[in-house]
A and B are shown apart, each in its own frame.
Chain A
Amino acid sequence: MHGRRRQHEREPTADEKVQAQQRVERYCALSTQVAELKAANTYTVEALSLTKQLLEQNTELHSVWNYRRQIFMHLDSWQDMDARQQALERELAFLLEIITKNIKSYWMWNHRVWALGALPRPEWQRELGLVAKLLALDARNYHGWNYRRFVVAHLRAAREDAGAVDEQEFAFTTEQITRDCANHAAWHNRSKLLPAILAQRGEPQAVLQAETDLILNAIYTDPDDQNAWLYYDWLLDIQTSDTDRVRLLRGK
């Protein structure tokens, strides 16, 4: 629905019409078959395979993602932790294959979150690496950043030293900003990390000074970037006021 250029259409040839009709028939046949299996609560390996074929063609079928999850959970192999681990790792690989088809698909990201939650031994560090690669391709990807925060939250929970994770993330945003000081997603993420960083470093004033220098640099680079001014304004605010809003943004 977004970003598709209009083409000046000539009338399709008879052959093209036949091919188009066949594509419709094939898609509808598969879609109907999966719907019938779902309605009959069919939880088999064959049904799993059919859902995969359909989802490869259309990542937006949330009912079919739901059904696919239900099939997984009903198979006998689900109770065997090693089998489940293998199956879900294959599932994560499958998602990675199709993610470029529609990088903004809510349903695909939700399915990945489900798979990570269901894995006996999730590899959060690997997920962090994957999402870093994705963000290298599309630095503003909304789902990517949300997913990164989800992964980081798990890393924090698993480590004794949650502060180290925060520092790592803070450094990641510094890297992003150094590459492109107009990366608003990185500045935003930084705004969420800064209160924790201030709390855990020995010299918060030094942190704030460094932060001020960083944002002023961004402002000099592009004075028309309104968001840089907003960030600077916020930095001043958290140092000087104690309003409800400031407390809220400091996470209190």
Chain B
Amino acid sequence: MEPTDPRSTLLADKHVEFIKRLDKKHDELEYWMTEHLRVSGIYWGLVALFLLDKPAALDHQQIVTYILGCQNSDGGFGGHTNHDSHLLYTMSAVQVLLMLGALDQIDTKRVTDYVVGLQRDGMVSGDEWGEQDTRFAFIAVAILSQLGTLEQLDTQGIVDYVRSAMNYDGGFGSGPGGESHAAQVYTCLACLAILGQLHVVDRERLSGWLAERQLKCGGLNGRPQKLEDVCYSWWVLSSLEILGRVHWVDRQKLCGFILSAQDEERGGIADRPGDVPDVYHTCFGMAGLSLAGFKGYALKPVDPVYCMPKDIVERAGLGSWTDKVPESWRE
């Protein structure tokens, strides 16, 4: 049998084993030092597994029990048991429960009240300490859309904040004044997509700016003159997908780059070739391959707004954002 070339082969079995081993690394300091984002780690691992069509590789019941144990008295979720609530982890918790068909096990009203309670003067903070960021605008809208309670949020205030984060290059930053950054672009586009407000976007300029993220190696960066990084395979590609312009990058070269960042010994995908893999880059590398139409493996299609398998998003009634994309964008 020919040795598999990690540059053209998706090492699916190795990635599954990598993800399964994540919760067993109790002898590694790194495991304990990342405890605060365990809930998000589970979300990233599950997305990768679902896209690989190996959803049963982790114990669903165990995960659901653990996630439910991360909910606090304020209705929000922390990143681990007894960690303070934050929108970031509330989002991951809700997404995990949705993917595992266990959303009915939480009190929708409690979580909704937590999210809505973080909105002041139109914009939403990440937690009670007040940090504002377009990531949180997206997260608030995404959480409530998954719970079916979006009408309880002042969405005009959210749209105004997102618009105030738009820059001369068509991109979006973290807030008014923030430099355009691909990850923030994704959160703004995804937020506007759910709210049916994509017409405020400068489609031409932004598509061009995003296409310019691709470097000679095929990888994508997040801002001009920055290094390529596998996670931008998601932030940039999902943004282009929402804009209907994913063909503006060389998808084959991108797939080659993502694959070259695989760890052929340990499994998992890293930020760039030769680096230590982690579950975050494994998730977004996998999602990037799926969006780029990688042919070497039957990856499940991924929804570019929710970063979850398309079939799950559609079954949950969340796929209708595509109907609200501006007419003129449908070529």
Contact = CB atoms under 8 A, between A and B. Distances in A.
A226 B263 contact: no
Given A62-B84, A184-B223, A230-B169, A245 B202 contact: yes
A110 B224 contact: no
A20 B281 CA distance: 26
A188 B280 contact: no
A31 interface: yes
Given A6-B275, A192-B177, A249 B33 contact: no
Given A20-B27, A31-B32, A146-B178, A2 B229 contact: yes
A41 interface: no
Interface string A1-26: 11111100000000000001101100
Contacts of A35: 82
Contacts of B310: none
Interface in B29-44: 29, 32-37
A114 B127 CA distance: 13
A227 interface: yes
B275 A4 contact: yes
Interface residues of A, number: 48
B167 interface: yes
Contact of A110 (B131, B169, B226, B280): B131
Classify chain B: how many residues form its interface, as a range: 35 or more
A191 B176 CA distance: 12
Nearest to A183: B225
Nearest to A26: B29
A28 B32 contact: yes
Given A24-B28, A227-B224, A234-B168, 11 more contacts: A2-B275, A3-B275, A5-B274, A60-B37, A62-B127, A63-B78, A142-B178, A188-B169, A188-B179, A189-B179, A245-B202
Interface of B: 26-29, 32-37, 78, 82-84, 86, 127, 129, 131, 163, 166-170, 173-175, 177-181, 202, 205, 208-209, 212, 223-226, 229, 263, 270-271, 274-276, 278, 280-281
* Top 10 A-B residue pairs of the complex, sorted by shortest distance between their CB atoms: A234-B168, A63-B84, A188-B179, A4-B276, A191-B168, A230-B169, A63-B83, A149-B177, A226-B212, A227-B224
